[in-house]
């Protein structure tokens, strides 16, 4: 968490409230995202009456895909709302949506119910990221953007870590997975704090007062279209890597240790999330020191190498598995510290929330294909999660090539 306001002269109370709201909103977003990888296997075995591993993997793919598609549309919907009615009001609505519909999963009696609830909850989750990043970057000084990118990027992974710690304390089994869905309702309380205390972006107010924007049209207009399409590609590479590889680690761990050790999958999530927090803090620093493009290339290269080791050489659960889960978590999720630094630099203020929301979450549509591909590959590879993940991880090679077509924005002010 950021230090108290009194320790940093020159930063106003309103700016601290903005950062706290965005941090908590994305933290709880991460909490909600981290729920399903932990409850998926026991929930599906409960709802389907102990099916084969291939069936579990297939449903995991379907439900993850529905979540990613929902997040993609949510990023567009709430990003557009953020540019039309303001960052703060739209962010409050997004948090309310994801918390209430995550809690609704408690009442699921069939796998498709989980898919529907995850889709609707994801509408809010997809919107919160773009709104929180736009609000923070517009309200805080330029000199703080590298630090802020790391903090916002790490927030979701703190949420992943929190849900994993709860699962270690209260192991999730086929008989008691539903209580975790009820915990997902708690972030709704954050809405009241946001609506009562968090100030709106003055930069957004000024931009809207100066001219009437048409966000969707403008981000695909000549001169902006290239940045939008590149941003979609970068998001797709990172998200396919995350949802096609990294988020399957708890299922693989549970498969290796058996159902008698439900706490191990939660421990794997703790390791993955701890590494991710560190990776998100380091990534924007690399972007500031090396440049945005070299940093992204390096993140892709390291992620590809570590995934190759994890999924091609590790064959049993033990210390080697745990160390690699930590390292893969750090590398493959470090992109989420790079995105809050780079994506705001690609879009003007009056279309920033829409541009970020669409590009980041359109990447999730492609990640949904990756998730379905992983589920299908697990079935093709006789229930082997690592063989499927090793194939999907090759997506990082695409990022290593495409990044060199992007503009280098290091040293430039946030565009108005």
- Given a cut of 50, whether residue 179 has pLDDT beyond it is yes
What confidence tier does 35 reach under pLDDT thresholds 50, 70, 90?
confident
What mean pLDDT comes out for the span 251-256? 82
The more confidently predicted of residues 372 and 35 is 35
The more confidently predicted of residues 128 and 211 is 128
What mean pLDDT comes out for the span 284-313? 95
Say how far apart CA 198 and CA 127 lie, in whole Å.
Answer: 17
| CB of 389 closer than 8 Å to CB of 243 | no
| Helices and strands counted in the chain (H then E) | 18, 0
Instruction: Please calculate the CA angle 36-41-45 and round it to the nearest 5 degrees.
Output: 130
Quote the mean pLDDT of the chain: 85
Distances (CA, A) of 23 to 66, 158, 238: 25, 10, 21
The more confidently predicted of residues 126 and 21 is 21
What mean pLDDT comes out for the span 224-253? 87
Residue 165 lies in a domain: yes
Say how far apart CA 414 and CA 416 lie, in whole Å.
Answer: 7
- Given a cut of 60, whether residue 6 has pLDDT beyond it is no
The gap from C-alpha 108 to its chain's centroid, in whole angstroms, comes to 24
Phi–psi pair at 340, nearest 5 degrees: -65, -20
Residue 389 lies in a domain: yes
349's tokens: 């203020």
Q: Which residues contact 20 (CB under 8 A, 6 or more apart)?
A: 1, 2
Q: Give me the domain span that covers residue 399.
A: 12-405
Residue 405 burial (C-beta neighbours within 10 Å; 0-12, 13-18, 19+): exposed
What confidence tier does 324 reach under pLDDT thresholds 50, 70, 90?
very high
Neighbours of 187 (CB within 10 A): 25
The more confidently predicted of residues 298 and 154 is 298
At 40, which CATH number? 1.20.1250.20
Domain count, the chain: 1
**How much is the pLDDT for 9?**
52
Q: Which of 78-82, 230-234, 350-354 has the lowest mean pLDDT?
A: 350-354
Residue 416 lies in a domain: no
Residue 113 lies in a domain: yes
Handedness of CA 291, 292, 293, 297 (dihedral sign): positive
Percent of residues, the chain, with pLDDT higher than 70: 96
**How much is the pLDDT for 7?**
44
What mean pLDDT comes out for the span 131-140? 88
Residue 283 lies in a domain: yes
346's tokens: 């690609």
Whole-angstrom Cα Rg for the chain? 20
161's tokens: 């870590």
Residue 5 lies in a domain: no
Phi–psi pair at 260, nearest 5 degrees: -80, -5
**How much is the pLDDT for 323?**
94
The gap from C-alpha 180 to its chain's centroid, in whole angstroms, comes to 19
* Predicted confidence (pLDDT) per residue in 155-176, tens digit: 888 888 888 888 878 777 777 8
What mean pLDDT comes out for the span 17-35? 88
Say how far apart CA 208 and CA 352 lie, in whole Å.
Answer: 12
Question: Per residue in 328-348, is it b (16+ CB within 10 Å) or e — as a string?
Answer: bbbbbbbbbbbbbbbbbbbbb
**How much is the pLDDT for 185?**
87
What mean pLDDT comes out for the span 25-50? 84
Say how far apart CA 352 and CA 138 lie, in whole Å.
Answer: 10
**How much is the pLDDT for 8?**
47
Residue 414 lies in a domain: no
Say how far apart CA 348 and CA 345 lie, in whole Å.
Answer: 8
Residue 394 lies in a domain: yes
* Predicted confidence (pLDDT) per residue in 209-227, tens digit: 776 667 777 888 877 889 9
| CB of 130 closer than 8 Å to CB of 360 | yes
**How much is the pLDDT for 404?**
96
| CB of 301 closer than 8 Å to CB of 400 | yes
**How much is the pLDDT for 5?**
47
Distances (CA, A) of 136 to 139, 190, 227, 296: 5, 17, 21, 22
**How much is the pLDDT for 49?**
82
The pTM (predicted TM-score) of the whole model is 0.78
What confidence tier does 40 reach under pLDDT thresholds 50, 70, 90?
confident
- Given a cut of 50, whether residue 345 has pLDDT beyond it is yes
* Predicted confidence (pLDDT) per residue in 363-378, tens digit: 777 777 777 777 778 7
Question: Per residue in 66-88, is it b (16+ CB within 10 Å) or e — as a string?
Answer: bbbbbbbbbbbbbbbbbbeebbb
* Predicted confidence (pLDDT) per residue in 259-283, tens digit: 667 678 788 888 988 999 999 999 9
Alpha helix ranges (H) inside 48-144: 53-85, 87-103, 111-139
61's tokens: 């793919």
């Amino acid at each position: 968490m950021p230090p108290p306001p009194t320790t940093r002269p020159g930063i106003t109370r309103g700016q601290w409230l903005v950062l706290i709201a965005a941090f908590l909103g994305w933290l709880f977003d991460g909490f909600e995202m981290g729920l399903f990888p932990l409850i998926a296997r026991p929930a599906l075995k409960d709802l389907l009456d102990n099916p084969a591993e291939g069936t579990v993997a297939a449903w995991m793919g379907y439900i993850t895909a529905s979540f990613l598609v929902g997040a993609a549309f949510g990023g567009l919907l709430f990003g557009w709302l953020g540019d039309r009615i303001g960052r703060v009001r739209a962010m409050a609505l997004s948090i309310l949506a994801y918390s209430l519909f995550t809690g609704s999963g408690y009442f699921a009696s069939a796998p498709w119910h989980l898919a529907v609830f995850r889709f609707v909850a994801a509408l809010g989750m997809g919107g919160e990221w773009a709104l929180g990043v736009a609000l923070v970057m517009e309200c805080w000084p330029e000199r703080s953007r590298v630090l802020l990118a790391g903090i916002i990027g790490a927030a979701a992974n703190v949420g992943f870590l929190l849900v994993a710690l709860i699962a270690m304390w209260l192991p999730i089994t086929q008989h008691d997975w539903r209580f975790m869905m009820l915990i997902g309702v708690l972030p709704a309380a954050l809405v009241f704090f946001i609506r009562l205390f968090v100030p709106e972006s003055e930069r957004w107010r000024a931009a809207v007062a100066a001219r009437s924007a048409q966000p969707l049209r403008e981000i695909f207009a000549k001169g902006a279209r290239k940045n939008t399409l590149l941003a979609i590609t970068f998001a797709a590479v990172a998200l396919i890597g995350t949802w096609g590889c990294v988020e399957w680690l708890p299922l693989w761990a549970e498969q290796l240790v058996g159902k008698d050790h439900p706490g191990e999958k939660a421990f794997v999530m703790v390791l993955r999330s701890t590494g991710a927090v560190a990776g998100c803090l380091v990534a924007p620093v690399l972007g500031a020191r090396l440049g945005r493009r070299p940093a992204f290339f390096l993140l892709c290269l390291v992620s590809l190498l570590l995934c190759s080791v994890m999924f091609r050489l590790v064959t049993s659960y033990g210390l080697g598995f745990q160390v690699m889960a930590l390292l893969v978590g750090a590398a493959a999720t470090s992109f989420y510290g790079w995105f809050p630094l780079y994506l705001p630099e690609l879009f003007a203020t009056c279309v920033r929330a829409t541009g970020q929301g669409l590009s980041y979450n359109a990447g999730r549509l492609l990640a949904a294909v990756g998730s379905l591909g992983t589920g299908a590959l697990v079935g093709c590879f006789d229930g082997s999660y690592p063989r499927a993940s090793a194939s999907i991880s090759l997506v990082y090679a695409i990022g290593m090539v495409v990044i060199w077509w992007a503009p280098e924005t290091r040293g430039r002010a946030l565009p108005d």
